[in-house]
Structures are given as C-alpha cells and as structure tokens.
A and B are shown apart, each in its own frame.
Chain A
Amino acid sequence: MPKVLRADGMNKCIGCFTCMLACSGVNRQNYSLSKSAIRVKTSGGLQGKFISIVCLACRDERACAEACPSGALEKRPGGGVIFKAQRCIGCRKCETACIVSAVHYDEEENKPIICKHCGVCAKFCPHECLRMEEVDNDL
C-alpha cells in the first residue's frame, strides 16, 4: 500500500528544524532550509506554536496538478503528486493553486519544491510530530 506523510503531531514540535535540514539534505543534497519541502514555522514569534506547511496529499483531485499547463505534476498513487522536472517550465501556477501554500519555490533552480512523501523527515523527527500513514491507492 502507498504511504503518505502526516504532520498531525505538531503540538509536540520543539522547533529543531531537523526535518527541514534532512529533507534539503537527502532530497536536494544541500545544507539549506530553503530547499526543504516541509516548512516549520512559528505562528507569532517563538512564544507561539509551531506549525508545519507541507503537502497534505490530496486525493482524487490535486489542485496543483490541475493548474500545471505542461503536465509536470502527475498524480501520485495514494495522494499528492510526482514532479517531473524535465517537463516543468517554471510558470509557478502550481504555487498559487495549492491553497495550503505547500508548493514552495526554489528560486535558484526556478522549479517548485513539492513533497514526494518519501518519509525522510518523519524518520528524523525526534518527537513524533511527523509520521507515515498507509493509504489506499486512489488511482
């Protein structure tokens, strides 16, 4: 069964940013916060709560993929999308289409950064904020 990332334990988040450094490191081979597909931030300074902004793994209809004019975003079995970089023209339509702002943008590469539900961040989250869930194939 396919798996998708669930960031539903964010109340336990300590703001260590290990997930972001791991996503950028493993998926982009960069030391970076900007290249991560998951963004952790505070709502209202450090005295506020930590929240994460990452792909929710939409099923059936994916707004980002619908908005893509060049077919660079394919439906991923179970939820979310698979990004085909060679087809992407850098129009940024997916970025605005995602209403949870989970399509981040790599200004250097001029390409979107979209979670591929690989689970690396969940593996390195020390406080069980992130987990992988098995889901049915919706395709």
Chain B
Amino acid sequence: MIYEKYIRVLYIDMTENKIRIENRADLCEYLGGVGVATKLLEENIKPELDPLHEDQPIIFAIGAASTVFPVVTKTVAMFRSPLTGELGESYAGGRMAMTLFLAGYDAVVILGKAKRPSYITISRNDVGFKDARALWGATSDEVGRIIREREPGGGKRSIIRIGPGGENMSSFASVCVDTYRHFGRLGLGAVFGSKNLKAISIVGDRSVPIKNFKDYFKVYQEIYNRVTDTEIMSKYHDVGTPINIEPLNAVGGLPTKNLRQNVFEHGESISGEAFAQKNLVRKMACTGCPVGCIHIGQLRREFDKGHEYEVISVGYDYELIFALGSFLGVKTPNDILDLIDVVEQMGLDAMSTGVVLGWATEAFMKKLITEEQTIVPLAFGNVASYKKAIEYMAYKENDFYSVLAQGADKASDVYGGKEFAMTLAKNEMAGYHTGYAAVVGAAVGARHSHLCNGGYSLDQSMKEFNKEKIVDTLFAEEKERCMLNSLVICLFARKVYDRKTILAALNSIGNNLTDEELTAIGERIYRAKLRIKKALGFDQMSVKLPKRFFETPSMSGQLDEKIAYELIGMYNKKIEEFMAAENR
C-alpha cells in the first residue's frame, strides 16, 4: 500500500461468501505485483490437487507504483494453469489496476467455489456476492453490458469477465478486462469457470493524499515527458505493434501455416499499414498511459441476406494477426478481425486458439483426424470453418473438440502429430520464429511465454551467435522482468523505466530502495517461482521441442535441435546453481 509498510490483501472465500483483509508487512520484501502474487500463490496453491479444483487460488496483484506514474498500468494474475499444469501468470491492463489501487487493495486472493453462477463486486467498503445464473452462457460483451447497467461506479470501474470458453473450462480460456484487454494466456478463464465465477466488478473511488507533492510531481513529469517524447510513442501508438508484421515477414521470422513456412506470401496484405488504412477507427489507452497502443478496427459484417449488416469494433495487435492470420493462412484484415471477434465473444486466448487450430488443420490434412471429428473441413485460409471450430472448442461440442480445448500438446498426445504441435512446454508458441533465443527462452521461461525473458527480441538484436551470451541474457532478463513486473509497468515502457528512473519514482513516493535491493527483489521473486514450479512437478530437462522448429528455417537460419537442447541444459544448470546459492 502506497506510503504504508504493508501489503493490503483481500481474501475472498466463494464457498462461504466471506471475506477477510490482512495487512501483511512480511510481503513488502516482494515489493508488489508479481512478487506479492508469487508469494501468495506459493502459500495458497495445492500441488496435489487438479488446477481446476475449487481449493486452488486465483491471485491478483497491483504494484508498488501502480497508477501513480505513467504507463504503470498492469495487474498480474497468478494461478495453477490448466493448460500446462504448472505456473500460471498473466497480465492485463485496462482500468483494473487503477480500480484496485483506488479501492485500496494491493492484492486479492480468491478461493473456493460458489454454489451457483455468481459475480463478485469489490469496492473500498464492501464485497458483494451476486447471482449470475442468468448471465451463464452470455458472451463477454453481453455480460459486460449487463453488469455495466446494474452496478454503480461508471467511469471508476473495471469489469472483468469470462465467456462460454471459461464456463466450459477450456484450458486456454481467457478473462476479458474492460472489453479490449485480457488475461489471455494459460487459462485463467477456466479457473474462473471452475469457481462458478462469471465476472468481477471493481469500483475505485478513493482519493489518496499525495505526500511530498513537489518531489513526486517532478519525477512524474520527467517520466511523462520521456514517454511522450521518445520513439515508443510512435512505435506503439501510430501503427501499433502490427508494425512488426512486415519486417518480421521480410526476414523470415513470421510463423505461417502452422510454421510450415517462415514467410507469409500475403504478409503485405495483413501488415500494420493495411489494417491502419482499411480498418483502424480509433485508439485507446489503459488508465494512466499516455501512449494509447490499443488499436480498434472496424468490420462491417453481413449477418443476414438482403443487405443486413452489423458493424463491430475489434481490438487487434501483432500477436492476434500472427495467430489468427499468418499462422492459419488467413490473408485479409477483415477475415482476421472476424476471427478475433469470435475468439473474443467465446472468451478464449487468441494466441493459443490460432496455434491449436494450426495443429488441427495440419492433422486434418494428414488424416490423423477426420471430418466426422472436426464437423467442418479445416484448411488454411478457410475462415468459415475456423469460425465454427472456435465455437466448437468453447462449447466442447464433441469428444474431439473437448480434447482440442485442452491445447495442442494434449491434442497431439491423443491424436498424434507431436512434431508439429507448436507448443513450448505445453504453452502455444508466440509469433516469432526468430532463432534459438525465442525457442529456448519460452522453453525455460517461468511461464513459457515469449515475455518471460524476451528471447525473440534478443534474437533480433544479437550480432553474433554465442551460446553463453544467450543463456546469460535470458537469465538476467528473466530476473529483471520479475522486478519490473512487481511495479507493475507495461513492458512497452521498459526502456523508459531503467533502474535510475525506477529508484527515483519509488523514492519519491517514500519507498527508499537501492539498486542492490531491486536486484535482490528480482532474484527473490524468481526463486519463489522456481520453487513453485518444482512443487508442481516441472522438470526443465524433460521438455520436448516440436521437430517443426528445426525443419522450417528461422530468421537466423536453420536451427539445430541439438544446440537448442544444449542451451536448455546450460540454462538448467544455471538455475540449479542459482537455487543452491540461496541455501549457502
């Protein structure tokens, strides 16, 4: 809690409809955000129970500088992932961090299971358990609209909710935050579903007096000016993250058609510029972010014969264009927006959805699965089939789609095709076939996301291939991001938030830390994550990499499987030493 020497944790028991608040001084050594959430996860997780058991916790946390500095906008969610069975960690922006801050909670722990479909309301002086029976089955948009009208706090409120995918506990169901942001990865939506939890509405209407206004505001202005002056503004605001589609395609790093190709022949027609010219209608921001990277595209869709049209607004960015575009051979912005909308309404993670469908398409082509199972014929570029298939996954339409809804790794266990199930330690790959650091980075990353340690970015900046350098950089970056995510900044602004800036910001709000302490915090958090992974039975050395990564050339040329495993081994040795060093 800002200006206080404790972390204020709200515990919600959905079985008993009871709450409890604890002011935990001991959590301060984890700073906030992912640090606090990791510690709370470690305390509450049940390694012996299934990820979707009602006794498993959902943790949310905001950080030590949330909302009070520019672009410090994210909330972290932690849970046991139903997709990987191990560490679940996901970030979302929107208004959620602001509302938690102004409701007066640093972290929320949700346990138990409601007897019937429910939603929770959180405000500074109350927590409500509400009937959501009529909302069960509603799409993400519908439930947002209904709660918006029923609950108070407009403008100072955040509504997070699941769609049918979460209700039916698809292993990669997402949680939608304020319409355009998501806890996308690793299946938090399914954990909501397992608790009969449809939505949470949070109202933040406190006012917190600012101490040492002059010091604080000086630092605030410096950061604001750097954020708005530097190139991150143009990069993320102008065309937005899809600006990367064209250059990555040009250098052969854009995973295409289930990574059968590293270049998409229609790359140009799905480029950031193409979206901007044809579909972009507005941009939006998370609360407290002057950048505004959220790009909204408009799609006019015929819903009935006789020129009956609807206009829908869909958020898009790089990862979605990769997953539902190039990876599935879908070649126009309109078709991609159409697919994004279905994913959105069903409440699934767009990246996993695309990569899972990529596997299914190839498995169908190779006759590992039949049309009796898939119901519709799957083929790269067949948008009509994909739209149906996405709904079938969310509703677990038949046995096949029930398996598919558990991810590409599980599906390939059952139906074969492991060598082209494009997952890394069971999490579907991200949109970068850039080289060893991308593959190895996600394989060793604590949550197996490209954002654990930014391997894809290291591939692009590394001048010369060097094994030690890859391993050392990934390791250092993983620890650094543990620290950054305890604040919780949006990683788009990571260049602005260098160590000096972070220290100035924290000091100006009375958190007097040193550079060494920041390092120690990052390490403490990483160690806690590794402890959790171990307790959940994760073994780094048993991770199998799909052959396809080594068949289709990457941006850095053909990759050698042996080298990738060697790098994983080197990394594993490093973390073993890292863990042993603590006990010494």
Contact = CB atoms under 8 A, between A and B. Distances in A.
Interface string B44-76: 000000000000000000000001101000000
B209 A126 contact: no
B179 A16 contact: no
B213 A29 contact: yes
Contacts of B209: 29-30
Contacts of B67: 21, 31
A133 to B, nearest CB: 22
Contacts of B156: 33-34
A15 B217 contact: no
A17 B98 contact: yes
A31 B155 contact: no
Interface in B144-165: 144-145, 148, 154-156
Contacts of A126: 228, 233, 290-292
A47 interface: yes
Contacts of B290: 16, 18, 124, 126
Contacts of B70: 18
Interface in B70-103: 70, 98, 101-102
Contacts of A93: none
A41 B155 contact: yes
Interface string B206-223: 111110010001001000
Interface residues of B, number: 42
A82 B286 CA distance: 33
Interface in A1-46: 14-18, 21, 24-26, 28-35, 39-42, 45-46
B284 interface: yes
Nearest to A16: B285
A33 B205 contact: yes
Contacts of B102: 31-33
A14 B287 contact: no
A45 B145 contact: yes
The B contact surface, by secondary structure, is: loop
Contacts of B287: 15-17
B289 interface: yes
A47 to B, nearest CB: 5
Interface in B171-193: 178-180
Interface string B254-294: 00000000000000000000000000001111111111101
Contacts of A40: 155
A84 interface: no
A34 B285 contact: no
Given A15-B284, A47-B179, A39 B155 contact: yes
A25 B207 CA distance: 10
A32 B207 contact: yes
A24 B67 CA distance: 13
A34 B205 contact: yes
A39 B156 CA distance: 10
13 contacts: A15-B287, A16-B288, A17-B287, A25-B217, A29-B213, A30-B207, A30-B208, A30-B210, A32-B206, A33-B98, A33-B205, A45-B145, A124-B224
